[in-house]
Amino acid sequence: MRHRPGGNIQLNQMSAKSNIVSGTDPRKDALCILTALNDTRKTLDLLLEDMDKHEYKDSRDRALLNTLVYGVLRWKGKLDWVIQYFSHIRLKKIDPKVLNILRLGLFQILYLDRVPVSAAVNTSVELTKQEAAPWIVKFVNAVMRKMSVKPMHLPDPFANVSCTAGMSVEKSFPEWLIIRWVNRFGIAETKSLCDAINELPPITVRTNTLRTDREQLQRELETSVEQVYSTPHAPEGLSLIGTNTSIGRIPAFTKGLFQVQDEAAQLIAHLTGPQPGESILDACAGRGGKTGHLAQLMENKGQIVAMDINADKLRRLQKEMERLGIGIVTTVTADLNAVPALGTFNPFDRILLDAPCSGLGVLRRNPDTKWRVSEKDLKRNGQRQVLFLDHLSHLLKPGGILVYVVCSTEPEENEAVVEKFLASHANYGIAPVQSGCDSEKVFLTDNNCYRSFPHRHRMDGFFGARFRRRE
């Protein structure tokens, strides 16, 4: 390979069209999404949602797009280790877009049996031709052809490095995360946790019991999905396998018969324990996944105030409530970094705080998070979560229930937050967990809180605490 001065691989003549998804070429669209994750603040969910505006003529192309995007993000650490082994240029000096082309090609070689190796090499080279100068095309071609030789001879990732460094490569996780999990769970359980996170999670939905029941919904979904089965813990949940179209185009969805929600998240509304006729504050409502479930459990009677700092999310929440036939939700835009001014609303019977967090409990569905979050974020998140609880604590009636939830299983965002909040709020105490499922004991922690793990419970990782206000 010819080296340029400085040894950098830069794309200086990138086509403007290169950042626009096509809806016709899954490899090119996967590259656009991976590049946008580097260049913008958009989340993976939002980028894939934008992608839904482009309907592929062949559903297999859409499936390949999802496989490529999630696969590259899930295995990025291991892919980079292999690429570095075959590249004479350090990864930090390779333009991120060129690196993503190499990752996409290598992922197909290592993990997709149905894609011929020659096709993986050729499509990567063709993709580079659309983006870069000829000498960069030669570089990509050379690296791809080295990696395409089977069997691929690679060194042992554990050779001459620590166990955690080797596991970081083998399981494709940042080493800082592996180290903290090994210290907490041991080597064997850390491997099990990593393997569970690296599995493809099912699509899980929650029945809208205001309009149907789980058995009726299952029968209706069986006309659109290859397999539908009941979730073992959440009483309204169904898992879907083999969807032939996007969820938004399934007839049962357009009729408002379900919301998409992981089984662990479905247990959170039960943890809150809402009753018909009560007044509930959903303090970080987002786009309304848990808001809709609270309204179901209240039989659409009473009042829910759905609050969030993001007005666009609340507009989506309102549309979602209309789709589900829910009429008891009022939205309020507020920033919990200060005590929210809720005007004429009286103190609430119950408050749910689904707090902003690292998201390390939902890596199965958001694998990009493990490359974005740092260990320092955990302590910073914990401080903000305690602040949010403090700002909400004055809005609850005496005797009321305040539920704190995060999609993280890390102690800084779990037990440490509970301890700090109770230490500064003598009028609050821990209330017993009520998850609404027969098997709730399997989720109980030593301090009577709720926690789920991907490797132990086959669902996302969540933590929840119920506080009761005494006076």
**Residue 335 contacts by C-beta under 8 Å, 6 or more apart in sequence?**
309
Q: CB count, 10 Å around CB of 63?
A: 14
Concerning whether 32 is annotated as a catalytic residue, the answer is: no
Report the distance separating Cα 439 and Cα 263, nearest Å.
Answer: 13
DSSP bridge partners of 259: 206
| Cα torsion through 365, 369, 375, 376, rounded to 10 | -130
Distances (CA, A) of 320 to 164, 194, 217, 395, 445: 44, 34, 18, 26, 34
Region class of 299: left (phi > 0), else alpha (psi between -120 and 50), else beta:
left
DSSP bridge partners of 332: 307
Report the distance separating Cα 271 and Cα 354, nearest Å.
Answer: 12
Q: Give the residue among 345, 326, 325, 320 at the shortest CA–CA distance from 334.
A: 345
Q: Give the residue among 96, 104, 100, 97 at the shortest CA–CA distance from 121.
A: 104
| Cα torsion through 352, 358, 362, 367, rounded to 10 | 150
Catalytic residue (choose from 194, 357, 407, 437):
407
DSSP bridge partners of 94: 9
Distance, C-alpha 304 to centroid of its chain: 25
**Residue 374 contacts by C-beta under 8 Å, 6 or more apart in sequence?**
176
Element (H, E) at 270: helix 263-272
| Cα torsion through 49, 51, 55, 57, rounded to 10 | -130
| Chain length of the chain | 471
The tokens for 288 are 């309304």
Element (H, E) at 328: none
Are the C-beta atoms of 441 and 435 separated by less than 8 Å? no
Q: Give the residue among 283, 285, 224 at the shortest CA–CA distance from 258.
A: 224
The tokens for 411 are 């102690």
Element (H, E) at 32: helix 26-39
Eight-class DSSP state of 206 = E
Point out the residues that are catalytic.
407
